Amino acid sequence: MSKRIIHTDKAPKAIGPYSQAIEANGMLFISGQVPVNPQTGQIPEGIEAQTEQVMKNIEAILTEAGYGFKNVIKSTCLLSDMAHFKAMNEVYAKYYPTEAPARAAFAVKGLPLGALVEIETIAVK
């Protein structure tokens, strides 16, 4: 098996013992991204702004690894509250205007750093 650790300063540093992403055998596994702005270390206010930041973080990792949103085949969206689903979905949809990936979305008891949203991504070449 070929395995490559992916890291970019254009996405937040890992806040635990994990990699931003791992590429193995033509597949890219991106760890759940929270809405930390990598330049400021801050989390924006509101679900729309947080979802936008998460998607920018995912985009930075995809780009670093030589992938794009067209390569994404699966997303898992974690929300602090299902009341945020509609607003998150509207921002998320801008990144997948056609051929959206398979996806699961559900609420969890809490997310790291008090975030409202976290998204995990799998892409393939």
* Domain positions in the chain: 3-124
- For residue 88, name the pLDDT band (cuts at 50, 70, 90): very high
For residue 32, pLDDT over 90 is answered with yes
Average pLDDT over residues 30-37: 97
What kind of architecture, by CATH, is found in domain 3-124?
2-Layer Sandwich (3.30)
- For residue 122, name the pLDDT band (cuts at 50, 70, 90): very high
Can you tell me which residue has the tokens 């400021």? 40
Reference 31, options 70, 2, 69, 5; nearest CA is 5
For residue 15, pLDDT over 90 is answered with no
Read off the DSSP letter of residue 99. S
Q: What percent of the chain has pLDDT over 70?
A: 100
